[in-house]
Structure 1
Amino acid sequence: MPAPLRDVPQSVTVVTRQQMDDQSITSMADVVRYVPRVVFAQGEGNRDTPIFHGNASTADFFVDGMRDDVQYYRDVYNIERAEVLKGPNAMSFCRGGVGGVINRVTRQTNWRRIGEVKLEVGSDDHHRGTFDLGQGINDKAALRLTGLYQNSGSYRDGVDYERRGVNPTASFLVGEATQIQIGYEHFEDERVADRGIPSYQGRALLTGRSTFFGDPDRSPTDSRVDAVNLAIEHSVSDDLSIRNRTRYADYSKFYQNVFPGAVNTARTTVVISAYNNDTARETLINQTDLNYRFATGALTHTLLAGMELSRQETDNFRETGYFTAVGANTTSINVPVGSPRISVPITFRQAASDADNHGVAKSIAGYLCRTRST
């Protein structure tokens, strides 16, 4: 709802586009770097994992107020601001949200002429370019296009990252009181899953920062997102408006880890294991909001009433890595701490406990909320 932050009975931090540019922010972990009581975990080198007040979650992400709960690394090239809602009452934002939620607000057409190109070059073979172009065609239509390409290395041996994204949007005015916005995003993130270094007696193992434990050549991560968004807003009067939003998103993600486990007490060997996981998800969400503003005496009230309908279909498939050179059913090996990068044969196949799931989740929800101010 359109309400000042001071009237929202919740802890909310807004990270603006200007702050992202000033700090050269490119990831969600960087977005929350200076947000109190929110940190990011490693996410096994393949996903964003925020921790709100000690509660880790990969599902409490939203984009333009609609759920974006697939496990992948997000970028900020097409983001106008990020809203971080903290505390258990973040549950009021949507299902889940026990510790908090992060909502990304995307860049939309606004009839202003926009022309921006950014190029970055940095250490560890970092190369990144983004652009943001916008133009009003006439007083009834406007276009905007944002894009991204990144190809970077890492301080870790054998690790690299590649990202590609494009997000065209268009806005149309129908009459004097109705606006239609439509957008499409295609985003890809390909990288080596870097699980970091193992722990020893409760601390990080003392080793070179560039050391890779496992096999980077067989630890790929590939995430792809195709999403279409449609928003229609109609102003009935200065105090009453109706908005409908629809989002269809097709996600696919594959990742494979050849990664370290426990270090022995003598600090001479480390356990290496492997697995992979493939997830495909289609999400369709429709939201309808009615905002009404009215006054009683010296108080101004904003009333929000709405409904959300959603359908989510998910397929998930997992395989375990077997070190067949050691034994047909061997799922882990011990290698020297001083030489933890391996190249031994690994066969991936399903174990009895590995997932091979198909699920469909449907939801219908109504909500009513009121704020007031003087």
Structure 2
Amino acid sequence: MKLPRISAAMVAVFAQVGPACASDAADGESTPIIVTATLDGYRSPETRSGTKTDTPILDIPQSISVVTSQQIADQQIRSITDLVRYVPGVSAGQGEGNRDQVTLRGNNTSADFFVDGLRDDVQYFRSFYNIDRVEVFKGANAMIFGRGGGGGVINRVTKTAVEDRSFYGATLSADTFGSYYGTTDINVDLGTAAVRFNALYEDLNNHRDAYSGERYAINPTFGAELGTTTVMIGYEYVHDDRVTDRGIPSAFAGTISAPAGPLKGYRDRFFGLSGVNVSKFDAHMVRFRSETRLSPSLTFSTQALYGHYDKSYRNAYAATPVGGTTTAPTVGIEAYFDPTRRETLIGQANLEWQVSTGPIKHVILLGGEFTSQDSHNERINGFFSATAPTAANRRATIALADPLAIPTIFFIAGPTANGNRKVRGNLDQVSAYVQDQISLGEHLDLIGGLRYDRYENRISNVFTGAIASRVDQLWSPRIGLVYKPVPQASIYVSYSKSYLPQGGDQFVTFDVTNAALEPETFDNYEIGAKWNVTPQLTFTTAVYRLDRGNTRAPGPTAGTIVQTGSQRSSGFELALAGQITSKWTATLGYAHTSAKIRETTSAAPAGRRVGQVPRNQFSLWSRYDVTPRLGLGLGLAHQSRQFTSISNTTFLPAYTRIDAALFYAVSDRLELQINVENLTDTRYFPTAHNDNNISTGAPINGRFTLAAKF
């Protein structure tokens, strides 16, 4: 895909509010150039992303969790891992130490991320310096978001230029590990236009040996009113350079009857090599939005995103559990290098028509979208011999000592019999959809929609010249019924379906073997209720069943893939968010999730539990303002025991972590904040990638933040 270079003029202006002052852009009540939602402390009563129309969350037949900029600031949330800890039904994965990865309702993904409703599926660590709120939509919903999204999606909503007001905010923060960051937010009102500049610099450090890195980003945006049309255009540059850390191995090779736990006594030990374990990411992104009011009942809107991404990560890691003997323990080490370049172009257009047919009111949405992605990916394996790049030399078994003595690693590229990969992928997707939100009276709403996707994936093997391609034509329905016994409460039932075409989240494993396989399917059945207990406090609950079909498994002949597997996730979720009193704000969440394999395959028998899905999750965060200047915060996050993979031979122990915070307003323009993480110094293991890569939780630590606003 050939596109012109990004104009330097796009980088003309700057903006962002510091996390501790994330609410100072009028506490979410300012009028942005393009309105996408309203905020109210720890709750967001309305969203556009869930239906592509401005709709109260109360009227959407789907479980939705929103983490606002105020909550992000109060908890000092620095990563997706931190964020989903307080989202029921979602658990974080390690992502091999180089990317965000989550499991939503039992379905693991590295690609179901969106920004302003457009796909953001490149593998990297996302930040919140320019984010107004994060919306987590649970359950299959391809009708709105397209392919994937089987267990749900995570959508970040960016801050935009604000008219009728100029303001400035800045934040400085440091923690007891030695990491620090600074952000700035500048918004300049130009009358019928405005510019905003968000920026971030972050120096990375934590409790792990050899861990370090830095990240910086800028995001200028410009918005204007042109008669009946509003437009917004923004440019974002992100640079991330950090150590790739894949954690520690399990204690020994466990079994189904006696699963192993994480290796004890090595919480801070780095199972990699300084200078080898490096992840680098650079991204240039341009976003555009427009909205035109054609008549009082007819609105036309467009969105577009262009992204150029350049990423590489190189790592040495524990490839086996601890072995050997109790007096001479050993561990196997492997390594590889994975560079990726990708260009993405997404365009979307929607026509919204509000019309009545007698007493029945409709909000009709007609829309279309196209996506074009051009990717280059390579895997270069590491060898412990410079002259013999064979499978036998891809692993070194070393003594479990302090420090680890990892031999020299040689990364040898090329199409030899060494398991390397070099592919070019072209993905083209064209979509059309229709949705009708029907008000059948004061108490009953019906929402129905259907989406058509033509999805074409073409992968070229650079080594062999082989080409694998497949075209899928997908129909994704969604239907839901909402009953409102009173205006402040709703009860809903819904059904939705999503597809994931073969090739995986990043479509680099697509070949002639799986080109013949049908897309994976996700069918979500859900019953739920939502209640605005007060105008500032919302309670939600849901019961669901999510069936995943057409999953892949190794075939009876070595090197083949068959399509026989299926899994089922079922569960119960509840959440409470908002102001309990004028001084007390809180969020509470609980989820019970059962995710199991339903059909026996060569990969796993029926009944085995899906990995990285805790059966029970509980979270609570509470802020109480003792005086107009002094506030106190307390948080609790609990996860029950979970398996690290589908093997069910290794587990992460259950844990409960307690956090605390203090907020002090030095003046109307300056605020001091102290956050203490893991107050009781609990030893815990929050995430994993597989049985041999387990992340360790940080010991007690503090973060000190100073935020100013003008």
TM exceeding 0.5 = yes
Whole-angstrom distance in 1 between the partners of 2:331 and 2:237: 40
| Contact 2:187/2:196 (8 A) holds in 1 | yes
Structure 1 residue 92: Cα displacement = 4.2
Do 1:301 and 1:372's aligned partners in 2 also have CA atoms closer than 8 Å?
yes
Within the alignment, does 1:306 sit opposite 2:364 as a pair?
A: no
Letter in 1 for 2:234: G
Alignment check: 8 A CA contact 1:178 1:235 kept: yes
Q: 1:55 to 1:98 in 2, by over 3 A?
A: same
Deviation readout 1:12-47 (Å, 9 max, x if unpaired): 111111111111112122222211110110001000
Which segment drifts farther, 103-112 or 141-150? 103-112
1:225 aligned to which of 253, 276, 283: 283
Q: Is the 8 A contact 1:8 1:371 kept in 2?
A: no
Does residue 88 (structure 1) correspond to residue 151 (structure 2)? The answer is no
Matched, 1:178 2:237: no
Tell me if 1:333 matches 2:391.
Answer: no
Which of 213, 221, 234 does residue 169 from structure 1 map onto?
221
Distance 1:238 1:123 in 2: 55
Establish whether residue 187 from structure 1 lines up as the match of residue 238 from structure 2: yes
Structure 1 counterpart of 2:169, one-letter code: E
Give ranges in structure 1 of 5+ residues lacking alignment. Answer: none
Asked whether the equivalents of residues 87 and 100 of structure 1 are also in contact (C-alpha less than 8 Å), the reply is yes
Kept in 1: contact 2:399–2:405 (CA 8 A): no
1:328 to partner: Cα distance: 5.2
What is the aligned counterpart of 2:305 among 221, 225, 247?
Answer: 247
The match for 2:318 among 257, 260, 265 is 260
- Taking structure 2 as the reference length, the TM-score comes to 0.51
Aligned residue number for residue 113 of structure 1: 166
- From 79, 102, 115, give the equivalent of 1:63: 115
Dislocated runs of 4+, deviation >4 Å: 296-299, 325-328
For residue 271 of structure 2, the aligned residue among 213, 220, 239 is 213
1:158 and 1:217 in contact (8 A); partners too:
no
1:364/1:89 Cα in 2 relative to 1: closer, same or farther (>3 Å)?
A: closer
Q: CA deviation at 1:152?
A: 2.1
Secondary structure of the residue aligned to 1:308 is strand
Q: 1:286-344, CA deviations, whole angstroms, 9 ceiling, x for partnerless residues?
A: 00011122334555432211000111000001101011279653111111112353353
Greater mean deviation of Cα atoms: 106-115 or 37-46 = 106-115
Deviation at 1:231, TM superposition (A): 1.2
The residue that corresponds to 2:88 in the other structure is 36
CA-CA distance at 1:188 after TM superposition: 1.0
Higher RCO (Cα < 8 Å, 6 or more apart): 2
Report the CA distance between 1:93 and its aligned residue: 2.3
Q: Which moved more, 1:98-107 or 1:231-240?
A: 231-240
Instruction: Trace 1:68-83 onto structure 2 (pairs within 5 A).
Output: 68-83=120-135
For the 8 Å contact 1:181–1:230, the answer to whether it is kept is yes
SS at match of 2:71: helix
CA distance in structure 2 between the aligned counterparts of 1:252 and 1:369, rounded to whole angstroms: 37
Contact 1:26 1:77 in 2 (8 A): no
Equivalent position SS for 1:345: coil
Residue 278 of structure 1 corresponds to 339
- Contact residue 259 and residue 273 of structure 1 kept, 8 A: yes
**Aligned-residue offset at 1:172:** 1.3
Which of these two proteins has the greater Rg computed from alpha carbons? Answer: 2
Give 3-state SS (helix, strand or coil) of 2:55's partner.
coil
Rate the CA distance shift 1:155–1:166 in 2: closer, same or farther, 3 A.
Answer: same
Contact 1:213 1:340 (8 Å CA) reproduced: no
User: Would the aligned equivalents of 2:386 and 2:410 in 1 still touch at CA under 8 Å?
Assistant: no
Stretches of structure 2 that go unaligned for 5 or more consecutive residues are 1-52, 255-259, 443-710
CA distance in 1, matches of 2:215, 2:349: 33
User: How far apart, in 2, do the equivalents of 1:316 and 1:119 lie?
Assistant: 37
What letter matches 1:182 in structure 2? I
Question: In structure 1, what is the Cα distance between the partners aligned to 2:237 and 2:385?
Answer: 39
State the shift of 1:8 in Å: 1.1
Distance in 2, Cα, partners of 1:370 & 1:187: 38
SS in 1 for 2:319: strand
Normalised TM-score (structure 1): 0.95
User: Contact 2:131–2:158 (CA<8 Å) still a contact in 1?
Assistant: yes
Residue-by-residue CA offset, 1:233-261 (whole Å, 9 max, x unaligned): 10112321100111100011100011112
The question of whether the paired residues in 1 share the 8 Å contact of 2:221 and 2:234 is answered with: yes
Aligned equivalent of 1:197: 248
